[in-house]
Amino acid sequence: MQLTEIRIAGFGGQGVMLSAHIIGKAAAVYQGAYATMTQSFGPEARGGAASAQVILSDKPILYPYVTRPDVLVAMSQEAYSRFLPELKPNGLLLIESDLVRLSDLRAGIRVHSIPATRLAEELGRRMVLNVVMVGFFGAITGLLEPDALRKAVIDSVPPSTRDLNVRAFERGFEYGLSTLHGERSAESEHPALPLEAQE
């Protein structure tokens, strides 16, 4: 894969940091690539702003901070408003569709949406919305092998919640695949093409 900058943002309690950790671990541990992760919190641990930066590459990463993300995952309205201006032209935007309303969207930005919180609630625990989003990210971007992401999920959550988190990952991944195949195109105001996996 070519060097790809990713920002994941939302509010405290949504599992933003764990999402980033899983993506980075999938690349570095289970796919033999390189990854860096940095993170920041707002003034409140839960409910305040939270964001994480992940860089993936098939070569050593010389600078660990995201400058202009190729991918923005926005899980709250505040995250969308704050970080959308940083997204590269023709970048990819993934949003939590029940929590983010699109506005001031530049031409060329590719958008896919998923009701991650609702899908997590259907699985029985709202808290796994972040892993639903990781699955969705994996399907839409094609940057990482599904099995690498799945193994990273299993390795990053408590043993007592592994089965639930794997189901959350699969649910998000399946939703992403159906989005790409056009089954949910009407649910996105701005249907998008996926990033191509880089060799």
CATH number, domain with residue 103? 3.40.920.10
- Is residue 195 one of the residues assigned to a domain? no
Q: What is the pLDDT of residue 129?
A: 97
- Is residue 196 one of the residues assigned to a domain? no
Whether the model clears a pTM of 0.85, i.e. scores above it, the answer is yes
Residues 74, 160: Cα–Cα separation, whole Å: 28
Burial level of 58, CB count in 10 A (0-12/13-18/19+)? middle
Digit-by-digit pLDDT tens for the chain (199 residues) are 899 999 999 988 899 999 999 999 999 999 999 999 998 765 544 556 789 999 999 999 999 899 999 999 999 999 999 999 999 999 999 999 999 999 989 999 999 999 999 999 999 999 999 999 999 999 999 999 999 999 999 999 999 999 999 999 999 999 999 999 885 543 344 433 334 333 2
- Residue 116: partners with Cβ closer than 8 Å, 6 or more residues away: 75, 96, 129, 130, 132, 133, 136, 172
Q: What is the pLDDT of residue 44?
A: 45
- Is residue 199 one of the residues assigned to a domain? no
- Is residue 168 one of the residues assigned to a domain? yes
Alpha helices in 57-114 (DSSP H): 77-83
Residue 10, SS3 per DSSP: strand
Residue range(s) defining the domain that contains residue 51: 4-187
Q: What is the pLDDT of residue 40?
A: 74
Task: Indicate the pairing of strand 34-41 with strand 49-57.
Answer: antiparallel
- Is residue 23 one of the residues assigned to a domain? yes
Residue 41, SS3 per DSSP: strand
Q: What is the pLDDT of residue 1?
A: 83
Token readout for 34 is 């390189």
Q: What is the pLDDT of residue 193?
A: 38
Specify whether the CB–CB gap between 16 and 54 falls below 8 A. Answer: no
Number of domains observed in the structure of the chain: 1
Q: What is the pLDDT of residue 197?
A: 33
